[in-house]
Amino acid sequence: MIMNAHGNSNGNGNGNSNGSVQSLEEKLDELRNLLGKSNNDPLKIVSVGAGAWGSVFAALLQDSYGQFREKVQIRIWRRPGRAVDRATAEHLFEVINSREDVLRRLIRRCAYLKYVEARLGERTLFADEILKDGFCLNMIETPLCPLKVVTNLQEAVWDADIVVNGLPSTETREIFEEINEYWKERITMPVIISLSKGIEAALDPVPHIITPTKMINQATGVDMENILYLGGPNIASEIYNKEYANARICGAEKWRKPLAKFLRQPHFIVWDNSDLITHEVMGGLKNVYAIGAGMVAALTNESATSKSVYFAHCTSEMIFITHLLAEEPEKLAGPLLADTYVTLLKGRNAWYGQMLAKGALSPDMGDSISGKGMIQGVSAVKAFFELLSQSSLNVLHPEENKPVAPVELCPILKTLYKILISREQSSQAILQALRDENLNDPRERIEIAQSHVFYRPSLLGQP
């Protein structure tokens, strides 16, 4: 197994320490043993939330390990009763008929007729029932394997060994507070893998960031050693279609290394890292700037120059923010830039920015968009702006030689807040921000960050 510069396994291949190749069943048995599962007790994995990433993650596990029915049980929970609108039902029918493998599968399962009836308007389809046939409402173009869907949350989680958090950050606390009620009688707590990107801003007693893993910890009392974050430069549909992708699983060594090995596939490279919180925060931060990237692309007719100028400015702001959050920010540069790049290229937040700039959507419509799900970057803009506006976090302005709130060195973040949250400005303001003669050269902002002691451990709840 190859090691990277920081001593973390890079996850290439499925090899173990003696160079042999582990079979899927051997990897499953290894994880079962670690979790103390007996021979007649299947490993129970449940994904909570059925957005694109949550659904693909569950389908990925089902595709790999679902064949070992006596050893593992993989399920996904989503709320019941969400009707699929007529336009989506019609499009879904077209997708089904364009894919011979999907068409045959539905006919074989006697499920095809319900899509015909929905097409004719004689039947209402529901999101939970189409998920059972392998269709995620936020990713209709990519049919998944059929999934075991549970709509009763207590039934889904009460005895789960591994719980995957596929919820938006804005829903994580509420759902896990409910889950906690079902875990009152548990003797041992499950391992939790959070896929969620986004943050909450807490201003008392000092301004600090609350990430989804921390929300889960606070809601359930599950020890942070048992809570991990999985994220990285990837697109859900590409992962399911077995295109090259990678991710990092971050958290305590006890679980991150065996889970990295369990999740790793030839097309899905999983690295592991001990720095959970800052990787998790970075996963939310890049969504902020992806919205602006979409706006710039739409407003400049996909101008390569404009997009590259924006990329230079937004990455310099993110690098500045990493110097506030991490004592050794250079370790985050690679993962942050890679994740940002893929999100700008093909993510839902960049798409949302494009739709706003084109006038196809407006901020008044909210951040939950049909066919796309939750646009996490919107709440992240609000949270980062509120946090970095606090005078208690003041940094010395390099030119004015006076203390200022950190947000004053983040003009793009300020502009996105005025467009998306306070709604003082239109999308066009993002271009004006790039043309502002007072805007620091991106290189200068990076030099400022590197030459000053900006680290604020309190931002991550550190003493």
Of 302, 320, 309, nearest in space to 434 by CA: 309
Catalytic hit among 37, 286, 372, 382: 286
Question: β-pairing, 373-374 with 395-396?
Answer: unpaired
Residue 286 falls in the annotated catalytic set = yes
Q: How far apart, in whole angstroms, are the C-alpha atoms of residue 56 and residue 411?
A: 36
Q: DSSP character for 22?
A: P
DSSP H or E run through 126: none
Q: How far apart, in whole angstroms, are the C-alpha atoms of residue 164 and residue 162?
A: 7
- In this structure, which amino acid lies at residue 41? D
**Cβ(196)–Cβ(166) below 8 Å:** yes
Q: How far apart, in whole angstroms, are the C-alpha atoms of residue 380 and residue 356?
A: 17
Q: Computed from CA positions of residues 60, 63, 64, 68, in that sequence, does the dihedral angle turn out positive or negative? A: positive
* Beta bridge partner(s), residue 265: 268
Q: DSSP character for 368?
A: E
Q: How many residues does the chain have?
A: 463
**Cβ(304)–Cβ(337) below 8 Å:** no
Q: The tokens of 341 are what?
A: 């790049």
Q: Which residues are catalytic?
A: 286
